[in-house]
Structure 1
């Protein structure tokens, strides 16, 4: 397994690729009637977002996941390729959708229907192999994708890759159960665990910190915590135009991992994560401002139809 120095994919992201339907209400919601709003359709899915953001800042990235065998899935895969991501996708069923309602402060409420993304299974080993870093989404800790995460972890560790996982959702932690969720994450033996403060508290994720695992806990505009062989807090620079926090956590992860792959320590990587996260806060959905984009050559894509 593995590849030469020239063909090693820097970052492999395993998880969801879905369509986000982002709703910006124009004023307070009135139930039982029409509400004026601006609606934006965008690529979604935490793992896909991380791959795109990393590619935009010059990190070679691959996405591994499943989308529907439908026009929506084809469009999403095409968008990944156009963003410079090496898209390794299975095509089956229908593509997932997340409706994201964003209030005036930028906070979002999500209504996910993961559909095909929740059925990722039987992934070829070479889709994981050759990475310097492997990033996993905790959304895949349930159902068939769990075996995929475990295999990705085994291959990543065998090849000396950095392994990371994002806690993703308090609702997910509640559904799995806090203790089991923490055990599942710990069993993957990640190098870095990313969570927001509510997620970290809900599953006691700081307890995973050790000589081999660093836990990074985000608190929005408040300082980010780092727990591991070295503990630290890193202030978050102020952001002037916060309209939509969708994708900010994924941009943080992409900035953090891109910096780690360039040799940064956890504090420096956290600062890089903050910088990239700021660039999504004024846009609808998980999209970077134009100044944050760096185009890379579009790689080939691989699609597997059916089960």
Structure 2
């Protein structure tokens, strides 16, 4: 089993359930993946920045403790609160997000965190995992600091999770995401995000640079691109009935990476990722109960 360092933001999650009603949980794209990787048998340390004495920070740390996530890379900041987001769902389980994260301390992680300790941890880990959302929320200084962490990491997993509202403009996002993907060992990307960034040629270039690219198509098929190998297309399987699609991509990435780190081939990893995501979308919220985890 591998040792993993995941970097990003964990937030307060409100799943709207009707007038004046919401379910409270804690989630975030890389946090969701980190938690599922831990449940799938890997040792995961999560790096982020939180407050010190608020009920939300205490609850997040309690979740990390209960799930077995290593919190030694969590930076604590007096007087700050984690971000918050709310999810509104339609009858098909598709969702809209509403965010309050402007004062979240993770936005200044380059100034607040021990970047040297994070770099050292990444250099010793089997995999360092982050996303385009991580790059967006930490700003220019954070992206520069995380670029150094990625260069020292033994291997990097990167989720091309593009959220336009988090970036000053698409050109800044495209440049930062392209650079991160070229420095990664595994890149997970959807056609939707590639089209929005005008990076449809990216998977071929990133694979040529040494990455294993998992490209998820509009038809739910997956194309695996690897260095010096012909692309492999895996057709989409039956679509699981969805209650809430929040966390589907994050859980797919966890299932895929867990099996690849265990030595399984990409096709088996895709099926494992799909199996986990298929269960996740049948629950409200990004993180399902441990008892609902598939084998």
TM-score, normalised to structure 1, is 0.80
Give yes or no for the alignment of 1:91 onto 2:76. Answer: yes
1:184–1:41: structure 2 CA closer, same or farther, 3 Å change rule?
A: same
Measure how far apart 1:281 and its partner are: 0.8
CA distance in 2, matches of 1:37, 1:233: 45
The correspondence for 1:185, drawn from 177, 189, 194, is 177
Matches within 5 A, 1:59-78: 59-69=42-52, 70-78=54-62
**CA spacing shift, 1:37–1:196, aligned 2, 3 Å:** farther
Change (3 A) 1:206 1:77: farther
Contact 2:191 2:200 in 1 (8 A): no
SS at match of 1:22: strand
- 1:293 shift after superposition: 6.8
| 2:23 equivalent among 40, 46, 67 | 40
Matched, 1:21 2:14: yes
What is the distance in 1 between the residues matched to 2:11 and 2:166?
21
Instruction: Note the 1:1-307 alignment, pairs <5 A.
Output: 10-25=3-18, 36=19, 39-69=22-52, 70-87=54-71, 88-92=73-77, 93-114=80-101, 115-121=104-110, 122=113, 123=115, 124=117, 125-142=119-136, 143=139, 144-156=141-153, 161-172=154-165, 175-178=168-171, 180-188=172-180, 189-203=183-197, 204-207=199-202, 208-211=205-208, 212-219=210-217, 222-228=220-226, 229-289=229-289, 290-292=291-293
Q: Secondary structure at the match of 1:222?
A: coil
User: Structure 2, unaligned stretches of length 5 or more?
Assistant: none
| Distance across 1 between alignment mates of 2:145 and 2:24 | 28
- The verdict on how the C-alpha distance between 1:154 and 1:239 changes in structure 2, with shifts beyond 3 A counting, is same
**In the aligned structure 2, how far is the partner of 1:83 from the partner of 1:17?**
14
Q: Residues 67 and 96 of structure 1 are in contact (CA less than 8 Å); yes or no, is this contact kept in structure 2?
A: no
- Superposed displacement of residue 238, structure 1: 2.2
CA distance in 2, matches of 1:81, 1:288: 17
- Against the structure 1 CA distance between its residues 111 and 134, is the aligned structure 2 distance closer, same or farther, given a 3 Å change threshold? same
Residues 16 and 220 (structure 1), Cα distance of their counterparts in 2 relative to 1, 3 Å cut: farther
1: CA distance, partners of 2:234 / 2:56:
39
Q: Distance in 1 between matches of 2:62 and 2:250?
A: 20
CA contact (8 A) 1:56 1:293 kept: no
Bigger shift: residues 215-224 or 188-197: 215-224
Q: Which has the higher contact order (CA 8 A, sep 6+)?
A: 1
Aligned residues: 272
Determine the C-alpha separation between the residues in 2 that align with 1:230 and 1:37. Answer: 53
**Do the aligned residues in 2 keep the contact of 1:138 with 1:168 (CA within 8 Å)?**
yes
When residues 105 and 219 of structure 1 are mapped into structure 2, their CA distance, relative to the original with a 3 A threshold, is farther
Equivalent-residue separation in structure 2 for 1:210 and 1:240 (angstroms): 30
